Amino acid sequence: MSHAEKDSFGAKLGMWLFLFTEMLLFGGVFILYSVYLTRYPKEFGLGGHQLDLVFGATNTVVLLTSSLFAAMSVTAIKRGAKQLTLGLLSGTIGCALIFLFIKYLEWSAKFHHGIYPNSPKLIAGPPGESIFFSLYYLSTGLHGIHVIIGGILMTWTAVMVQKGILNSADNVTLENVTLYWHLVDLVWIFIFPLYYLIL
Amino acid sequence: MSQDTAMAQGGFWRDTGRSGIGSWIFSTDHKRIGMMYLYCVLSFFLVGVVLGFLIRLELIAPGPTIVTAQTYNALFTVHGVVMIFLFIIPGIPASFGNLVLPIQLGARDVAFPRVNLLSWWLYAIGAVIVLVSLFTGGGAPDTGWTFYVPFSARTSTNVSLAVFGVFVLGFSSILTGINFITTIHRMRAPGMTWTRLPLFTWSLYATAWVQVLATPIIAITLLLVVTERILGLGLFDPNRGGDPVMYQHMFWIYSHPAVYIMILPGMGVISDIIPVFSRKPIFGYKMIAFSSLAIAAAGSAVWGHHMYTSGMSDLGVLVFSFLTFIVAIPSAIKVFNWVSTMYKGSISLEAPMLFALSFILLFSIGGLSGLILGAAATDIHVHDTHFVVGHFHYVMFGGTGFAFFAAAHYWLPKYYGRRYKEKPAIFGWILMFVGFNVMYFTMQVLGMEGMPRRYYDYLPEFARLNFVATVGSWILVAGIVIVVWNLWRGLFRGEPFTGNPWGGATLEWSIATPPPTENFDEDPVVTHGPYEFKGAGIP
């Protein structure tokens, strides 16, 4: 279209609005969490102790590191350091893959112990425990899907940086994708304490 | 003028030099996207009309009449899903919003033209998924459009696919909302200050915020229904410790604000039409603009009034009831301002104005009957009766539906460069108005007398009024057929329509007819308000 010039402020405004919608999407899950927590505090506590703190904490560090790389990549591209940008983006994508792999290990361990949605063990157990693990799989699963989407977006951005479509003058797409990545990080920052720590 | 029309011959319909279906479904021109939405929503509207017609036909007499009970359940479910998610939510914002909004701002397009196209594609994909769900799997959903658990988690009909289709439609709605907010903030022409925004644009702005802030909640809720059915999460299953009422809360946290997605753009249309056909500036511009935002904000906190009988604390009922009454205030502000605008105006009763006037009456009846439902005590009597059906059809159809036709008669000639015939339009409007009231007012009486909604069969004492309501539906359908046929014929083969015959002062009336692809030959500078008619009159 013949827009006189690219409106990067407008693009960021649109992205922020989209991030609001993502927060509200997860907000729905957090509403359910808070309602059921007040109803089954004991079962939620017991469920929380069954989660593996090492897996959770490692993933938190991995995701925070990836966010750091993502933020640095924005500064790098603004300075015109193409190779550095690409390296930092690869770091982000690498962290995303490590996160997903650890998640896979964690979920497999749970499955192995017979804890998965609708499993005979959970159906036989107290109602609150089944709710806790259903919410756990729902939150981490939905978050995992967002990690995958974020990883794909990061890869796509890296290709555009490689081709020079994104450069020191025009880089709002990279900035928007990193904003999205920070949201993915932020949601995890809420999920981690709610399920692993405070109970 | 003649040179102008010669230059613009065909406008955005022809001036890209491209033709064929690809020039439409891959076009990022807001007018082409608006047109595609228009044809889609109008088609789904007619589908929904046929389904509603069949529901009324089944209810013409007690006992089985034309369909089985299961088919009847599917009929009212699909009627609701089609009308709500495929017609009325995208109805005015996505079709007329896309057609009119950028031009009213003095912009060449929306802020994100490609995202706009993506919205349409998501809408089309979502619609196809919903349609496929009707004919595959266990058959058309039979849960009602609200998909209440636990039934929706258990029924063997194809709920999962239908719900997923609605999820995709929600995505489309969110993207349209984001696009419109950004467009209104960033794309206004020089001189187009916030207090010079046409009120239709103001209403789209308020609507867009509701779309952005409410729709994600329905997205997660619908995902939960799907996961409930596929994975058996048990989050709403009382046997597993879940709570079905939580579903109702989450559903209505979106779906009540969604009724303002439906009605606000309609109110915007009316706010633009009434001053033009009264030849008088709008009365209370700032209050009308503000009341749109107030409705959007207050309307987000009233969802509980759908659930007085579902199990809620008395305090909860009182709070939601109080908040519901608050919403009536900004709605009434609009109605009073529209009426004041007409006072001592030079009123011209042409088709758009007639639809707008009937909007005021029908919306007022619907709004006031809404207060009967919003009051905690009276709701117990009429909850889940035909009174509710009558109420929301007064607001949704008598409100938004009539506003949709008002907008069609007001703006479409501008975009086609041809106009409909006035007399059939007025005749069709009379039939619609009469049939509408015969049908839905009777329903409200039926509800007061205790006839439940969604029932296949009813007691013999309701037979007479049900017969009257069904006859009303025939008159209404006859009116709709005449109006749509007259529009169709007129817009393709009618008299040429040029210039600004109604004397509108908003920017869309200042450009060529039909508008060229880039809307403005040179970027406009706005020097007057949207309802300052001096000098903007008939050329």
Pairing of strands B418-419, B495-496: antiparallel
A18 touches chain B (CB under 8 A): yes
Backbone angles phi, psi at B310, to 5 degrees: -85, -10
Mean pLDDT for all residues in chain B: 92
Tell me if A10 and B215 make a contact (CB, 8 A cut-off). no
Q: How do residues A134-181 score in pLDDT, each as one tens digit? A: 999 999 999 999 999 999 999 999 999 999 999 888 999 999 999 999
Q: Write the DSSP string, B73-127.
A: HHHHHHHHHIIIIIIIHHIIIIIIIHHHHHHHHT-SS-S-HHHHHHHHHHHHHHH
pLDDT higher than 90, residue B522: no
User: Is any Cβ of chain B less than 8 angstroms from the Cβ of A41?
Assistant: no
DSSP B31-78: HHHHHHHHHHHHHHHHHHHHHHHHHHHHTTSSS-SSS-HHHHHHHHHH
Q: Which helix (H) or strand (E) holds B215?
A: helix B199-230
Distances (CA, A) of B476 to B394, B397, B434: 13, 11, 7
Q: In Å, what is the CA distance from B108 to each residue of B102, B214, B521? A: 6, 29, 10
- How confident is the model at residue B9, as a pLDDT? 57
Burial of B298 (0-12, 13-18, 19+ CB in 10 A): buried
CB contacts of B227 in chain A (<8 Å) are 117, 138
Separation of alpha carbons B42 and B488, rounded Å: 11
pLDDT at residue B217 in the model:
93
Contact yes or no for B403/B266 (Cβ under 8 A): yes
The sign one gets for the Cα dihedral B420, B421, B422, B426 is negative
Beta-carbon neighbour count of residue A172 at 10 Å?
16
Angle at CA of residue B107, ends B105 and B41, nearest 5°: 75
| Burial class of B525 by CB neighbour count within 10 A (0 to 12, 13 to 18, 19+) | exposed
**Looking at residues B461-489, what average pLDDT do you find?**
96
- Measured between beta carbons, the chain B residues lying within 8 angstroms of A13 are 181-182, 185-186
Contact B287, B356 (CB under 8 A): no
Interatomic CA distance for residues B386 and B363, integer angstroms:
18
At B59-112, the pLDDT tens digits run 999 999 999 999 999 999 999 999 999 999 999 999 999 999 999 999 999 999
State whether residue A126 sits within 8 Å of chain B by CB.
Answer: yes
Closest by CA to B199, choosing from B116, B114, B125, B104, is B104
Q: What are phi and psi of B248, to 5 degrees?
A: -60, -40
- For residue range B257-289, what is the model confidence (pLDDT) as tens digits? 999 999 999 999 999 999 999 999 999 999 999
Structure tokens given for A150: 């974020």
Residue from B218, B231, B312 to probe the interface with A (highest A Cβ count within 10 Å):
B231
Whether residue B17 has pLDDT greater than 70: yes
Q: How many C-beta neighbours within 10 Å does residue B276 have?
A: 26
Reference A187, options A1, A10, A59; nearest CA is: A59
Q: Are A94 and A29 in contact (CB under 8 A)?
A: no
Structural tokens at position B13: 């319909």
Ranges of each domain in chain B: 2-510
**A16 contact residues in B (CB cutoff 8 A):** none
Residues B99, B32: Cα–Cα separation, whole Å: 8
Is A127 at the interface with chain B, CB within 8 A?
A: yes
Residue A49 makes CB contacts below 8 A (sequence gap 6+) with: A199
Integer angstrom CA distances of residue B76 from A36, A89, B53: 33, 51, 10
B363 near B335, Cβ under 8 Å? yes
CB contact under 8 A, A13 and B186: yes
Our CA-based measurement puts residue A132 at a distance from the nearest CA of chain B, in whole angstroms, of 9
- Residue B257 CB contacts under 8 Å (≥ 6 apart), including other chains: B210, B213, B214, B296, B299, B300, B303
H-helix or E-strand spanning residue B390: helix B386-395
Q: Tell me the per-residue pLDDT of B123-147, one tens digit each, with 9 for 90 and over.
A: 999 999 999 999 988 889 999 999 9
Contact B216 A27 (CB under 8 A): yes
Q: Which two tokens stand for residue A3?
A: 């827009």
For domain B2-510, give the CATH number: 1.20.210.10
pTM of the model: 0.94
Predicted confidence at residue B536, as pLDDT, reads: 61
CATH number among 1.20.120.80, 1.10.3470.10, 1.10.10.60, 3.30.420.40, domain A8-197: 1.20.120.80
Using the predicted structure, report yes or no on whether residue B1 has a pLDDT greater than 60: no
Percentage of chain B lying above the pLDDT 90 cut: 84
- Residue B5: pLDDT over 80: no
Judged against a pLDDT cut of 60, whether residue B414 lies above it is answered with yes
Whether residues A20 and B212 touch (CB distance < 8 A) is answered with yes
Closest-CA residue in chain B for A24? B216
The owner of tokens 């109420």 is B391
Whether A130 sits inside 8 A of B241 (CB atoms) is: yes
Given an 8 Å threshold on Cβ–Cβ distance, is A18 in contact with B181? no
Q: A83-87, A96-100, B359-363, B522-526 — which is least confidently predicted?
A: B522-526
Task: Give the integer Cα–Cα distance in Å for A78 and A72.
Answer: 10
Distances in whole angstroms, Cα of residue A48 to Cα of each of A36, A142, A195, A197, B366: 14, 19, 6, 7, 50
Chain B residues touching residue A36 (CB < 8 angstroms): 235, 241, 243
Residues in chain B: 539
Interval B344-403: pLDDT, tens: 999 999 999 999 999 999 999 999 999 999 998 899 999 999 999 999 999 999 999 999
3-state SS class at B510: helix
Helices marked H in chain A: 8-39, 41-50, 53-78, 82-112, 120-124, 127-163, 172-192
**A–B interface: beta-carbon pairs under 8 A:** 110
Rounded Cα gap, residues B304 and B442, in angstroms: 27
Give the integer Cα–Cα distance in Å for B345 and B333.
19
Q: How confident is the model at residue B539 (pLDDT cuts 50, 70, 90)?
A: very low
Give the separation between CA A95 and CA A93, rounded to whole angstroms: 5
Mark B315-333 as b/e (b = at least 16 C-beta within 10 Å). eebeebbebbbbbbebbeb
Q: How far apart (Å, rounded) are the C-alpha atoms in residues B501 and B227?
A: 55
Q: Are A171 and A74 in contact (CB under 8 A)?
A: yes
Quick one: how far is CA B329 from the chain centroid?
21
Region B240-264: mean pLDDT is 92
Q: CB distance B186–A117 less than 8 Å? A: no
Q: Which of B399, B136, B381 is nearest to B266 (CA)?
A: B399
